[in-house]
Amino acid sequence: MTIGFIGNPNSGKTTLFNAYTGANLKVANWPGVTVEKKEGALKYHGRIFKLVDLPGAYSLSSYTLEETVAENYILSGEVDVLINVVDASSLERNLYLTLQLLELGKPLVIALNMMDIVEKRGMEIDLHRLHDILGVPVVPVSALKRRGLDSLIHAAAHHRDETGAKNNKNNNNFEFARKIKPEAKTEFSEFSEFEEKYSVIEAIVGEVLVNREKANLITNKADAILTNKFSGLPAFLLIMALVFFLTFLIGDKIKDYIEIIFENFSEFADEALVNLGINEIVHSLITDGIIAGVGAVLSFLPNIFILFIMLAVLEDSGYMSRVAYVMNGIMTKIGLSGKAFVPMLLGFGCSVPAVMATRSLGSSKDRLRTIIVIPFMSCSAKLPIYILFSGMFFPGYSALAAYSMYLIGFILGIFSAFIFNKIDNRYSIRKHNEENNSLIIELPGYKTPGFRTVFIYVWEKIKDYILRAGTVIFAASVIIWGVMHLGFSGYTNNIAESFGAVLGEKLAVILSPAGLGFWQAGVALIAGFAAKEIVAASFAILFGVANVTSDSGMSMLSAELSAIGFGSLNAYCLMLFSLLYPPCAAALAVIRRESGSWGKLGAVIIFQVGVAWVVSFAVYQIFSLFL
Amino acid sequence: MNVKSISRHKLIKLTDGVKNKIYTVKKINLPVKILKHLEALGMTPGAEIIVLNKKSSALIAGFRGTRFALGRQIAENIEITEIIKGGV
């Protein structure tokens, strides 16, 4: 039996779905489109239920892609029972979708979520009356506090078994109105469908809701500062500074402990391989290749972990959509709406979901422009590069040096969007329709982020990071080790004869004016196309430093780098180049899919390589004069 | 609650609404696609609306128990009228 969860965005639908399925869900895309499809299984009273989390929808009127996907799925007949998650604290708006669903005649159960908030605000909902009027089961739940979960599934299973669809087949607005006022006649003739439904909803809410005018005081107070004309922007910058401060400094503190484990492990592995009499080449592959590469990437887990906790908290607390409002002024000046800023902010985590999030933007032009600048928002995989190189070359100022990457990326992103807008306005024949990309975004009430929601969000990202370390980065580590130990004459210990050196030397010629005229940098940057963490891992492998993130490893690597003439300015240029050059293969694949053409992908790559080279070149040449 | 009895008051743009004062939506002059989206969200003629926050590029409006941030190009095409106290 398949149960579909449908509800308005911010109704707590996903929290409720997660409460049933936990972190064991299958995430895929809806056929043909890249809107996330989440499926989970639930065993209840010996029966297996397939749960499907449908995309958030305000209505079935297909305004957004999400709504189209939800509607198509419901109509496809794949779903047996629908659970309509309704935010009880904003009943009026949520019931619009409910009335539309009732008209479809599918078995429907209403999960009245956020009842705790309703109670806190001194409101009461007459559940019996609501059930009477709507004619379908109404179950009060709290997804966050995991209350009412059993009753809800029970109601869904039961509703399907006993009543099927017959109960609500003949529901229409007129019938509802009659249930509230028996004398009502068809007085809707002069109204549009929207007005008709909302006038029915007004009558329903009038019947079932007591003390309805209580304002959300906490949200009002918080918004007075966070969305204020003057304090909104400084508050946002302060929050972002806090996010990165915690990511760098607290993350580094935890990292110290992880390093001790890694150090012991690599020493143990080294001894074990010697004791077992393993072949020298295999020994080198394992310690200098795999352990150095994969270990370098894994030791940054604490920083990544904290960054994603912070992003999850921003999202779940309701603050993320405020950022769209706060940034709308700046974004309008560059021809985008504040809504486009949300995908950009997500880009600080990972470009892949960020590029997919541009689906919420109205026009394809806006989407493309947003997609082009997303890679400039420094993603979490670039963090290891910054931490490693700023730690080695900017002692005492490492957090500042790393933070400067975020700022430069952000400013360049905004600036490029501005330039694209200018070009677009000059050459486009049809004037850009301003209303089409104007801001419409719900600002949900603030709430304390749910532990479970944050945990599941962070766990998914961490799982992905570890998985990448075990697959892509593992493979890349082996390849990089191979490239620098194999040459035209077979296995070699003389790195200068290796394929890596030969290839890297060619790249070094091009990269030299940008301060990166080292074959190792060329190899690392090329390898970085597989995943950005590899840039950091490559240096560990290329210089054969096993515990590159420990104090001793860092001083060893920085001594090796200094010996080839790679100084702090070169390090800064490497960080800049890594920040600005095209994103990893996974992100490029998503850009190709979302932009719909190879040509656009090619343009994005050329643009980003160009920007990376020009900016690094400028910085290197200017600062070379002073240093 | 019955909002049809209110009228005879001059129409103003939502962008000219005074903060924290209750108005009713009268007319929306926007392309059909956006109009339908707004109506599905509950911004139908007659709905009560309140301006919660304002700045030059956008404003925050509350209607049907939820708050939305609306860009200026949208907000200035929504016409509202004042509710007369005690007139309902």
What integer is the mean pLDDT of A23-36? 65
Sorting pLDDT into bands at 50, 70 and 90, what band is A362?
low
What are A179-182's contacts with CB under 8 Å, separation 24+?
A: A179/A132, A179/A133, A180/A133, A180/A204, A180/A207
pLDDT reading at A578 higher than 80 = yes
% residues pLDDT > 90 (chain A): 44
A298-312 pLDDT, tens digit per residue, is 888 898 899 999 989
Sign of CA dihedral A581, A585, A587, A588: positive
Label residue A417 exposed, middle or buried (CB < 10 Å: 0-12, 13-18, 19+).
Answer: buried
Q: Is the predicted ipTM greater than 0.90, yes or no?
A: no
pLDDT reading at A433 higher than 70 = no
What integer is the mean pLDDT of A419-447? 78
* Cα distance between residue A453 and residue A406, in whole Å: 27
Phi, psi of B50, rounded to the nearest 5 degrees: -135, 135
Give helix then strand counts, H and E, for chain B.
2, 6
CB-CB under 8 Å, B69 with A324? yes
In this complex, which of B54, B55, B64 lies closest to A329 when CB atoms are compared? Answer: B55
Q: In what order do the strands lie in the sheet with B48-54?
A: A440-442, B66-71, B58-63, B48-54, B22-28, B78-82, B12-13
- Looking at CA atoms only, how far is residue A226 from chain B in angstroms? 11
In this complex, which of A194, A223, A438 lies closest to B74 when CB atoms are compared? Answer: A438
A203 touches chain B (CB under 8 A): no
Q: What is the separation of C-alpha A288 from the centre of its chain, rounded to a whole number of angstroms?
A: 33
The residue in chain B having the minimum alpha-carbon distance to the alpha carbon of residue A192 is B44
Please tell me the predicted confidence (pLDDT) of residue A161. 56
What integer is the mean pLDDT of B58-85? 91
A166-195 pLDDT, tens digit per residue, is 444 456 666 666 666 655 554 555 568 888
CB-CB under 8 Å, A202 with B40? no
B30-71 pLDDT, tens digit per residue, is 998 889 899 999 999 999 999 999 999 999 999 998 999 999
A228 touches chain B (CB under 8 A): yes
In this complex, which of B45, B57, B66 lies closest to A442 when CB atoms are compared? Answer: B66
Residues 12-71 of B with CB under 8 A from A: 30-31, 33-34, 36-42, 44-47, 52-58, 60, 64-71
Sorting pLDDT into bands at 50, 70 and 90, what band is A437?
low
What is the token pair recorded at B48?
């009560």
Quote the mean pLDDT of chain A.
87
What integer is the mean pLDDT of B3-27? 82
pLDDT reading at A214 higher than 70 = no
Closest CA to A52 of A20, A75, A93: A20
CB-CB under 8 Å, B36 with A435? no
Sorting pLDDT into bands at 50, 70 and 90, what band is A104?
confident
pLDDT reading at A28 higher than 60 = yes
pLDDT reading at A101 higher than 90 = yes
Please tell me the predicted confidence (pLDDT) of residue A187. 54
For A423-569, strand residue ranges (E) read 440-442, 486-487, 490-491
Residue A38 φ/ψ region, left for φ over 0, alpha for ψ in the -120 to 50 degree band, beta for the rest: beta
- A-chain residues within 8 Å CB-CB of B48? none
In this complex, which of A93, A223, A443 lies closest to B41 when CB atoms are compared? Answer: A93
CB-CB under 8 Å, A93 with B42? yes
Name the amino acid, one letter, at A567. G
pLDDT reading at A379 higher than 70 = yes
Contact A410, A376 (CB under 8 A): yes
Between B2 and A597, name the one with better pLDDT: A597
* Cα distance between residue A408 and residue A402, in whole Å: 10
In this complex, which of B47, B53, B71 lies closest to A439 when CB atoms are compared? Answer: B71
A382-398 pLDDT, tens digit per residue, is 999 999 999 999 998 98
A466-508 pLDDT, tens digit per residue, is 988 888 889 988 998 898 888 888 888 777 888 988 889 999 9
Please tell me the predicted confidence (pLDDT) of residue A6. 95
For A91-153, strand residue ranges (E) read 108-113, 124-125, 138-140
A436 touches chain B (CB under 8 A): yes
A45-64 pLDDT, tens digit per residue, is 889 999 999 988 999 877 77
CB-CB under 8 Å, A332 with B38? no
Place of tokens 């972990």: A305
A329 touches chain B (CB under 8 A): yes
% residues pLDDT > 70 (chain A): 90
Please tell me the predicted confidence (pLDDT) of residue A38. 85
Contact B34, B74 (CB under 8 A): yes
Place of tokens 């399907």: A160
CA distances from A85 to A5, A88, A140, A304 (A): 7, 9, 10, 33
Between A307 and A33, name the one with better pLDDT: A307
Contact A209, A123 (CB under 8 A): yes
Please count the other Cβ atoms lying within 10 Å of the Cβ belonging to residue A503: 15
Please tell me the predicted confidence (pLDDT) of residue A514. 96
Helix ranges (H only) for A143-291 are: 149-158, 173-180, 193-208, 217-226, 232-245, 251-275, 280-284
| Residue in A213, A225, A438, A447 to test binding to B, most B beta-carbons within 10 Å | A438
Between B58 and A438, name the one with better pLDDT: B58
Please tell me the predicted confidence (pLDDT) of residue A360. 74
In this complex, which of B30, B60, B64 lies closest to A227 when CB atoms are compared? Answer: B60
A323-337 pLDDT, tens digit per residue, is 999 999 999 998 888
Helix ranges (H only) for A246-339 are: 251-275, 280-284, 292-298, 301-317, 320-326, 328-333
- B-chain residues within 8 Å CB-CB of A228? 53
As its CATH architecture, domain B3-82 has Roll (2.30)
